[in-house]
Structure 1
Amino acid sequence: MPDQVTTNITREFHRDSPDILSALHDVLASPSFSNADRLKSFLEYVVTETLCGRSDAIRGKTIAQDVYGRTAATDGDPENVVRVDARRLRRRLADYYADEGRNSRIRIHIDSGGYVPRFEYSGQKTDDLQPETAENKQASPETQKFVLGLKPRHLIAGGLSLAVTVLLVFVYLGNFQVTQDSGEAGENRASQRQALLEKSPTALQAVTMAEQARDMMLPLFDLTRQKLSLGFFQQAINLDPGYSGGYAGAAQILGTLAVLSPPGPQKTEFTAQSRQMADKAIELNPTDPWSQSAASWSKYAIKEYDEAVRLSALAFSMAPDNHQILEIYGAVALWNGEFPLVLELLETAAMNPVMGSRSGAGNVYAAAAFFLEDYKGALKSIRTSTEAGGPVSPAVVAIQTAASHASGNMKQARRYAAKLQDTWPSVPIDKLLLRLFRYPEHPNEIIWRLKDAGWQNTPSPTSQ
């Protein structure tokens, strides 16, 4: 059996997470919620935020921003949409528990007057299942920190963590939802999965788990998704230490944490673990495009920029239709300052996004367009991405601010800067941008425009 490289994460979830996650999965996969993608996103968001200890921050404003990408500055009263959807969600949940979910051991409720979920066990008082809030949780100082506050020792250790066990609830083969292919690709996929099943059920389970985690980890800088995905990848490694995908996925997540971390022991350890995982993926399967893409990400984390671009190009040449590999290639090229290449790579994906895909291609394209002085194109790309369900983040709003500023629309630039300040007051976006880009003049072109539009860097002490 191949040597196993291990990584795990701390448990920062609600104490009843295994049952709640299982119940959430059942609801989302039910006929009652078919063709209700927006309501599913709503429910998934509020439950996930609660399990991660952030129920105090669940409000109409945050749901409008994080789930729908809407703000009062650009969309009138986005909270009205949230209120309407909350009523629809309550009705759907009632219908579900009256029909296919009537025998559920745990039920999820969104009570009127708020959006924080309440969890009810059959035959058990609901008071025992209230989400943790600022008043009743006792989180360690590290769990209160921004992304960069995660300690490597919390992420890197031998064996399974409790969080990984929680995540295992999702991955019984009978419950997993896998994207369906059609035609020849679908037939090849079915044949591959049958071959894995004949090898062993755990081998198939490991691949299925890694595929789901790979889809979940985008956008790359959503910490909740990164932690959840990392747990899946660790369990995939435990199930089949000879499967390269588990290591490749873990390498990418640890590489992301390494890139964003400030200089110091934390960054060094993330970097070392990312490289170790990437090396293992290459050792197991050097012809897998995912292995090469993960190696690219790991190389970027140690500032081997040109090698990172080369490996991403190699991975892309092996799998030109894979959107995850394309996004990694685009991001590496962007941060390396190769803006024309980014436009060439991502134009189709940015201009014709798949609805609900949560793809970040449009945002990467927008950043490259900004640096090439196509400010209207940058704003259009972000708008198109957001309308299709693409991620909204501090970096995206920073590009919107800078592009508006550069195009001479100071009123809009100030509005975006205020949105950035109000929504993410403790995020040091200037420092993060400087860590991402190879050449300081590129992030500085954004930063000075942010400040000129009124944004001020006022991070909390724990986010440094």
Structure 2
Amino acid sequence: MTGKRKLTNKSSNLNRSSAGAPNTFLWGAVCVSVLGMGSFLAFSDAIKEVRRPFPEFHNAASVVIADDHVLLPQSATLREVMTPEELDMVGRNHMFSFMDVARQKRVISHSKAVIARYPDYAGAYATAAHSLSSIAIMMSDAGRAQVVLREAHAMLELALERDSEDPWTSSAEAWTAFGAGRLEEAKQISLQAYSAAEGDQCILIFHALILLFLGEFEEVLQVTQPISDVPEQGNPAIYGFAAFELGNYQSALDAFELALNRGVEQNAVRASFLAASYEAVGRHEEATKLVGEIKRRWPTFRPERVHAVFMTGISEDYGKRYLRLFQAAGWRSDT
């Protein structure tokens, strides 16, 4: 079903330095919980001017590269006919971790190639809007972020023109609003998308991230509750962060370990929360060992910046508690 719901003109609200908008430098750090990244500081150096041509694709484990910048599953060949929905789903499944800038650029290029083939299909516009908003969220330069958000907004409008009732389009609308600092609007639209999505994992992740960043930890637990023998159920990585913030340390470390067992790539932020969880439940030796691994693998990691930046509207007590446990496990910021 197509729809013509039109976005209200909120270009003035794209200025994310306005009151209430999240600080964007490392503002999304904990989101690496989805599928992981290396040092969460490194992305700021990796971000280049988005208006420049996207770089050549890099091979990734889940895809091969087609000449027309369409990502294809390894099992596919260039001769296979794929529907726009199938092509778009390849892009959606490639976009996590959302903090991986190169990955987002690949998804955007892929989406534009799908759009060139199937200009009436809404999903690819919405996918591009998600990835553009993700890049903007991670930018420390508010001016550059505003430019990227405008492009995300343009893609979103095209998606809405084609199918305003698609939950994926609504998810893109929520994520774009969130990147622009319209937090309550983002939460409400995201809830609508999640409620209509019938278990869509990509929509679940974006909804859970919005709730997590807003400090709605109990709601995050409800959305991401994992079932150990049902891999497609919930999201244990995000669940672990919410459980930790609520002081449920055993539940947090169980969730983080489940995520690793499911093949979710480890990263500095989640590893640090896992170490803090080990320390909180008295498993000091494991906590200390993990701290040593973090120092070796992510030498630029700065845990003191996590809560101070991405949860600016939430009590600083959360960050102090995390740092106290992480330091008790052996972390020293001057090392």
* TM-score, normalised relative to structure 2: 0.73
Q: For 2:146 and 2:302, how far apart are their aligned partners in 1? A: 21
Structure 2: which 5+ residue stretches go unaligned?
1-35, 59-63
After superposition, residues 26-425 of structure 1 pair within 5 angstroms as 146-151=42-47, 153=49, 155-156=50-51, 162-163=56-57, 167-169=65-67, 171=70, 177=76, 205-347=83-225, 349=226, 351-354=228-231, 361-425=235-299
| Partner residue, 1:97 | none
> Residues 149 and 272 (structure 1 numbering): CA distance in 2 closer, same or farther, change over 3 Å?
farther
Shift of 1:163: 4.0
Paired residue type of 1:380: D
Paired residue type of 1:147: F
Please tell me the root mean square deviation across aligned C-alpha atoms, in Å.
3.4
Q: For 2:252 and 2:45, how far apart are their aligned partners in 1? A: 31
Q: For 1:250 and 1:331, how far apart are their aligned partners in 2? A: 18
Deviations 1:383-431 (A, max 9, x none): 1111111231122112112222333444333322222221111244543
| Partner residue, 1:88 | none
Please tell me whether the aligned partners of residues 71 and 110 of structure 2 are also in contact (alpha carbons under 8 angstroms).
no
Shift of 1:340: 0.9
Shift of 1:307: 1.6
- Larger CA deviation: 274-283 vs 313-322: 274-283
Q: For 2:228 and 2:127, how far apart are their aligned partners in 1? A: 27
Q: For 2:72 and 2:252, how far apart are their aligned partners in 1? A: 42
Q: For 2:207 and 2:220, how far apart are their aligned partners in 1? A: 8
Paired residue type of 1:168: A
Please tell me whether the aligned partners of residues 287 and 329 of structure 2 are also in contact (alpha carbons under 8 angstroms).
yes
Shift of 1:369: 0.7
Q: For 2:288 and 2:137, how far apart are their aligned partners in 1? A: 29
Deviations 1:316-359 (A, max 9, x none): 11112211111111111111111111111111x353452xx7x9
Please tell me whether the aligned partners of residues 353 and 385 of structure 1 are also in contact (alpha carbons under 8 angstroms).
no
> Residues 173 and 451 (structure 1 numbering): CA distance in 2 closer, same or farther, change over 3 Å?
closer
> Residues 208 and 161 (structure 1 numbering): CA distance in 2 closer, same or farther, change over 3 Å?
farther
| Partner residue, 1:122 | none
| Partner residue, 1:446 | 322
| Partner residue, 1:136 | none
| Partner residue, 1:117 | none
Shift of 1:222: 3.5
Deviations 1:293-333 (A, max 9, x none): 11111122122222212111101111122111111111111
- Larger CA deviation: 204-213 vs 241-250: 204-213
Q: For 1:243 and 1:312, how far apart are their aligned partners in 2? A: 21
Please tell me whether the aligned partners of residues 65 and 71 of structure 2 are also in contact (alpha carbons under 8 angstroms).
no
Q: Identity, % of aligned pairs?
A: 22
Paired residue type of 1:326: L
Q: For 2:265 and 2:202, how far apart are their aligned partners in 1? A: 14
Secondary structure of the equivalent of 1:303? coil
Please tell me whether the aligned partners of residues 217 and 245 of structure 2 are also in contact (alpha carbons under 8 angstroms).
yes
Please tell me whether the aligned partners of residues 254 and 274 of structure 1 are also in contact (alpha carbons under 8 angstroms).
yes
Deviations 1:234-286 (A, max 9, x none): 21222233322222112222222222222433333333333333333223221
* Count of residues in correspondence between the two structures: 287
> Residues 360 and 221 (structure 1 numbering): CA distance in 2 closer, same or farther, change over 3 Å?
farther
| Partner residue, 2:22 | none
Secondary structure of the equivalent of 2:66? helix
Please tell me whether the aligned partners of residues 250 and 281 of structure 2 are also in contact (alpha carbons under 8 angstroms).
yes
